[in-house]
Amino acid sequence: MMKRLVAAVIGVVVLAIASNTSVVAHEGHEHKLMGTVTMAAVDHVMMKDKDGKDVTVKVTKETTVKAKTAMKVADIPAGTRVVVTATEGKDKSMTAKSIEVGVAATESK
pLDDT tens digits for 6-43?
A: 677 676 666 656 554 434 445 567 889 999 999 999 99
C-alpha to C-alpha distance for 95 and 73, rounded to whole angstroms: 13
Where do the domains of the chain lie, and which CATH numbers do they carry? 30-104 (2.40.50.140)
Task: Indicate the SS3 state at residue 9.
Answer: helix
- pTM of the shown model: 0.69
Which residues sit opposite 34 in a β-bridge?
Answer: 83
- Residue 34's contacts (CB-CB under 8 Å, 6 or more residues apart) are 49, 50, 81, 82, 83, 84
> DSSP code of 81?
E
Contact criterion met (CB below 8 Å) for 73 and 59: yes
pLDDT tens digits for 54-63?
A: 999 999 999 9
For residue 92, what pLDDT band results from cuts at 50, 70 and 90? confident
